[in-house]
Amino acid sequence: MDIHEYQAKEILARYNVEVPRGGLAYSPEQAAYRASEIGGSRWVVKAQIHSGARGKAGGIRLCANDKEISEAAEFMLGRKLVTAQTGPRGKLVSRLYVEEAMDIQREIYLGFVLDRKEERVMIVASGSGGMEIEEIAEREPDSIIRAVVDPGTGMMEFQAREIAFGLGLDNAIIGKAVQTLMGCYRAFRELDASMLEINPLVVTRDGRLLALDAKMSFDDNALFRRPQISELRDKSQEDPRETFASDRGLSYVGLDGRIGCIINGAGLAMATMDMIKIAGGEPANFLDIGGGASPERVAKSFRAVLGDKNVETILVNIFAGINRCDWVAEGVVKAIREVGVPVPLVVRLAGTNVEEGRRILAESGEQIIVAETLAEAAEKAVAAWKSVTRAAA
């Protein structure tokens, strides 16, 4: 789960990470009022969406008076901001963050991420802030500092000092850098974050060290024990297909193809998507119904897939271990009769109670294309999709 910049900054401030003064606004008038509350002579108006690269898309503006603030707010609010990270659909701007402008001397990149290969928290830092980490790695690979945290001890202050010295910071702000690094690590660990990024972390001309921008993502599987974090979720920033599925306990990722997938197991789902592409099609989604799929859960999966209006064929591929093929078959028939499946449907079942499952499908009287192998299922799904495309043409 992602959160907004202003929410990440509120969290970091509670962990002794210094951030600029700012306030939330939902209208141009409120944005101008926030600036008067903050004081000063220059302010930054920032669109709050779950995406980076906002500045290049017009989502960050430096303003010197109320008129410029109001104009910036008028431009952003209600607009779908399209960045390099949002894709062509963009993301709707419904709130702004007005922040004091800083006199920047230097920009730094700082990131915390869960390295699943090492099974450790990895700290990534660079003296070249303001760019995406991919750009930094390409342009200045030698500037990147990496440090791994031992889970037995947690992050130690000597590690934070090593990183600070490695960034070439002045001795006068080494203590502030240690405080910032330790605070970020504590927030990351205590709140079950999966990613924390400050880009840029800036050194100001008056010797302050501030998080000028901040991103945080959290482990969805840990939200049940972090209610204060789950409350920060903004569904308007999510793919509506993924939100629908997530609210019903389904693992779903929306894609751009035309063949909807209902599969159990992440590995089988990936293999099925690959086979669809090999057969000449494109998957519309990744959907894992999990290990104990009841008929009701299968029907919910159909609703999730059919919520994507681009889906022109559905492929159900179940290898039953914990699952049972007869349960899945009952769910497929139930979905056809209750939900309605207006597109070709290909079903491949294997594993526990497979004969009973196939019998239920055969005797249902519904139009179901049955396959026995994964390759056959993918080929039949692509053939069915192409027939729909030809008919429409």
Domains within the chain, CATH numbers bracketed:
20-101 (3.30.1490.20), 103-237 (3.30.470.20), 238-388 (3.40.50.261)
For this structure, is 26 an active site residue?
no
For this structure, is 118 an active site residue?
no
Which amino acid belongs to residue 63? Answer: C
Candidates 227, 12, 226, 232; CA nearest to 112 is 12
| pLDDT for 293 | 62
| pLDDT for 172 | 92
Q: Which residues are annotated as a binding site for substrate?
A: 264
| pLDDT for 299 | 84
Of 5, 6, 97, 109, which is the active-site residue?
Answer: 109
Q: What is the pLDDT of residues 196-224, one digit of tens each?
A: 999 999 999 999 999 999 999 999 889 99
Q: What 3-state class would DSSP assign to 168?
A: coil
Candidates 12, 73, 74, 20; CA nearest to 46 is 73
Q: How many CB atoms lie within 10 A of CB 127?
A: 17
Of 197, 312, 330, 379, which is the active-site residue?
Answer: 197
| pLDDT for 280 | 95
Pairing of strands 144-149, 120-126: antiparallel
The answer on pLDDT for 345 being more than 90 is: yes
Highest-confidence range of 123-137, 177-191, 216-230, 363-377, by mean pLDDT? 177-191
How sure is the predictor about 375, in pLDDT bands with cuts at 50, 70 and 90?
A: very high
The answer to whether 93 touches 101, Cβ cutoff 8 Å, is: no
Q: Alpha-carbon distance 63 to 61, whole Å?
A: 6
How sure is the predictor about 283, in pLDDT bands with cuts at 50, 70 and 90?
A: very high
Report the residue count for the chain.
Answer: 393
Q: Alpha-carbon distance 330 to 360, whole Å?
A: 7
Q: Which residues are annotated as a binding site?
A: 46, 99, 102, 107, 199, 213, 264
Q: What is the rounded end-to-end Cα distance, in angstroms, of the chain?
A: 40
The answer on pLDDT for 291 being more than 70 is: no
The conformation of residue 118, written as its DSSP 8-state character, comes to T
Q: How far is CA 283 from CA 16, 347, 376, 384, in A?
A: 45, 15, 16, 13
The conformation of residue 283, written as its DSSP 8-state character, comes to B
In the β-sheet with 251-254, what is the strand arrangement from edge to edge? 251-254, 285-288, 259-263, 313-320, 345-351, 369-371
Q: Which residues are annotated as a binding site for Mg(2+)?
A: 199, 213
Q: Which residues are annotated as a binding site for ATP?
A: 46, 99, 102, 107
- Which residue is listed with tokens 């920032």? 46
Q: How far is CA 335 from CA 164, 189, 250, 252, 329, in A?
A: 58, 42, 16, 18, 10
The conformation of residue 2, written as its DSSP 8-state character, comes to B
The answer on pLDDT for 339 being more than 70 is: yes
For the whole prediction, is pTM greater than 0.85? no
